[in-house]
Amino acid sequence: MCGIAGQLALDGREADPALLRAMAERIRHRGPDGEGFHVQGPLGLAHRRLAIIDLSEAAAQPMATEDGALRIVYNGEIYNYLELREELTRLGNRFRTASDTEVILHAYRAWGTGCLTRLRGMWAFALWDAEREQLFCARDRFGIKPFYYTLAGGSFLFASEMKALRAHPGVGLRPDDRTILTFLAWGVSDHSARTMVDGIFQIPPAHSLVVKKGRVEGPVRYWDLALREDPGRDSRDEDRAAAREFLKVLRDAVRIHLRSDVPVGTCLSGGIDSSTLTVLINDLVREEHPASVGDRQKTFSAGFSDPRFDESAYADLVAARTGVDAHRVVPDAEGFWQDLPGLLDAQDEPFASLSIYAQYRVMRLAATQVKVVLDGQGADEQLAGYLGYQWSHVRGLLASGHLLTALREAAGILRYHRGFVRDSITQLRVRRRRRALIRGTPEEILRYRGSLPRVLYREIFSTNLPALLHWEDRNAMAFSIESRVPFLDHRVAENLAAQPLNRRIHGGVTKWILREAIRGIVPDEIRCRMDKMGFVTPEEVWMKEALAPRILEIFSSPSFNSRPYWDTEAVRAEYRRYLEGQTPYSPEFWRIACTELWLRAVFDRADPGTAR
């Protein structure tokens, strides 16, 4: 895990060493263990190192093949690097390090750009091919690792974070109005190649691009996921066999994600996904003794004094059953406000929910004990874990003529999720009204349109997971810690994509195949949970109580009044109605406030916490 940056001058000039150093300095937190540079003609590469695999100096970057024909800067982990190394050695390749970085170089030499389909892991890299005079840039299948780029001053510039690109005086001068409006209206971010900064783009998940002969070719997709559309049939034996096979694939993914030369811990929220990982890791500790975990697994959780948002009892249950070394932090509103400038700086863009803060604090806690954590991100989008997917499932079944199955699912929704149905109807009405607070013409984002497989595909690659992975990466790297997500191992994803719909949602029960797979492994008090929380915060309570004076100050400031994105008087009036108990909470209030603070910090060059 590292930070990368680089420049390829497209106009024949030489790369700028001072710019490369400035870019690297802005992402020092991503790699406190060392730095490296390579400047030759139009090419400049910069690297900040977080040493995880092969801690020796031989594994430092930028790294080149022995003949110097290929050179790379890379951020991520290739978990099957040992297997690939063995295969490449049989093909005649000679290795000088024990790193996964060198494996990518030889894989590219052996298989060209097709090497991407052989990699198992997370990555963002730029590889210079001197013979072809081209820069090959790629991002992993799900976009776990970031890759931003821009064209400025006759150069192609790239980096792990946007703040590094803004080291160039011609980059990041204006916000991207349309992307900001879409975020404000619909709460989505990272849903396309565009960012909230004008002129800065990102390589989408499962895409690569090539820069040569003065132009950028791509991005082009190199991998895709086909989600099965049929509702399936009730066959207890087949379903149990599918669950056993899924558990086998997931266990293998967890095993390979534990490969590390530094200590590894686990994020434990108390939900089904993180509890499953914790139990599987604990089994592997007993059976295979991975050195990265040690004799006793360390877990990291967040708890709250308000029982409506606290999952401590579930995390404690897992800890008691497994005997892990459990650690917990208790975020609060005052701590959030104090940490907000650093959190905004880490994220580089406004964020849609305060739930990000619980994860931020968990990562800070984990960094005191380990250098790598495993997290359950990605399970909800693949297994239809969010309750909002239920109605898409029913509508899709009706549209495809499966009336009886649709009725069964609707009955299950009412049986298990009656409160959610009531609250969601209210929220839909409130959010529709509050979109009128936004001025301009945002892109229309209809997250739940279409059948369940189409909705989940959209959520995986566009409307939900990319933003969560953005938060995950920045929260972890802010504290120089690597976060790994085994549910996004592509073999796990392909197994789940091949399952019929009734193994995702069955009679209103979400994540059916996972619940069946962990029967007898994870405590039933967790396995049979029907609520959905994760690392959340008491956002609604904080916004009505502790944070209210500060939010009102933001909404009354001169800078807020000057923005073209919202109706300032209407925003203030609507927020006061909420504070007086006349209308329910919805996240538009936070999105607007967060965007204002981000605009101050990035474009006004002001302290985001001060009224202007």
Q: Are residues 40 and 122 in the same domain?
A: yes
Q: Are 477 and 29 in contact (CB under 8 A)?
A: yes
Of 221, 254, 275, the one marking the end of a domain is 221
Q: What is the CATH number of the domain that holds 27?
A: 3.60.20.10
Give the domain extent around 607. 539-612
Q: Are residues 436 and 487 in the same domain?
A: yes
pLDDT at residue 317 in the model? 95
Q: Are residues 45 and 121 in the same domain?
A: yes
Joined together, the tokens standing for residue 536 give 């959340």
pLDDT at residue 606 in the model? 63
Q: Are residues 124 and 246 in the same domain?
A: no
Give the residue numbers annotated as catalytic, written as ranges: 2
- b/e 53-74 (16+ beta carbons within 10 angstroms → b): bbeeeebbbbbbbeeeebbbbb
Q: What is the pLDDT of residues 404-442, one digit of tens each?
A: 999 999 999 988 888 888 888 888 899 999 999 999 999
Select the more confidently predicted residue: 387 or 561.
561
Domain count, the chain: 3
pLDDT at residue 12 in the model? 84
Q: What is the pTM of this model?
A: 0.96
Q: What is the pLDDT of residues 524-544, one digit of tens each?
A: 999 998 876 555 579 999 999
Q: Are 500 and 232 in contact (CB under 8 A)?
A: yes
Question: Residue 419 domain-assigned?
Answer: no
Long-range residue pairs from 78-86, CB within 8 A, at least 24 positions apart, any chain: 78/103, 78/104, 78/119, 78/120, 78/121, 78/123, 79/120, 79/121, 79/256, 79/257, 79/259, 79/489, 80/119, 80/120, 80/121, 80/256, 81/53, 81/121, 82/259, 84/118, 84/119
Q: Are residues 96 and 182 in the same domain?
A: yes
Task: Give the residue from 48, 128, 142, 63 showing the smallest Cα distance to 98.
Answer: 63
Q: Are residues 156 and 267 in the same domain?
A: no
Joined together, the tokens standing for residue 82 give 């040992």
Question: Residue 402 domain-assigned?
Answer: no
Q: Are residues 247 and 286 in the same domain?
A: yes
For residues 364 and 401, give the distance between their C-alpha atoms in angstroms, rounded to a whole number. 50
Q: Are residues 41 and 164 in the same domain?
A: yes
pLDDT at residue 534 in the model? 53
Label residue 114 exposed, middle or buried (CB < 10 Å: 0-12, 13-18, 19+).
Answer: exposed
Q: Are 466 and 252 in contact (CB under 8 A)?
A: no
Percentage of residues in the chain having pLDDT higher than 90: 91
**How crowded is residue 230: how many other Cβ atoms within 10 Å of its Cβ?**
11
Q: What is the pLDDT of residues 22-49, one digit of tens each?
A: 999 999 999 999 999 999 999 999 999 9
Label residue 444 exposed, middle or buried (CB < 10 Å: 0-12, 13-18, 19+).
Answer: exposed
Q: Are residues 18 and 116 in the same domain?
A: yes
Question: Residue 468 domain-assigned?
Answer: yes
Label residue 169 exposed, middle or buried (CB < 10 Å: 0-12, 13-18, 19+).
Answer: exposed
DSSP state at residue 501: G
Stretch 106-112: mean pLDDT: 97
Question: Residue 399 domain-assigned?
Answer: no
- b/e 533-542 (16+ beta carbons within 10 angstroms → b): bbbbbbbbbb
Q: Are residues 372 and 247 in the same domain?
A: yes
Of 166, 192, 221, the one marking the end of a domain is 221
Question: Residue 405 domain-assigned?
Answer: no
Task: Give the residue from 47, 92, 116, 101 showing the smallest Cα distance to 70.
Answer: 101
Question: Residue 420 domain-assigned?
Answer: no
pLDDT at residue 612 in the model? 46
**How crowded is residue 579: how many other Cβ atoms within 10 Å of its Cβ?**
17
Question: Residue 110 domain-assigned?
Answer: yes
**How crowded is residue 563: how many other Cβ atoms within 10 Å of its Cβ?**
15
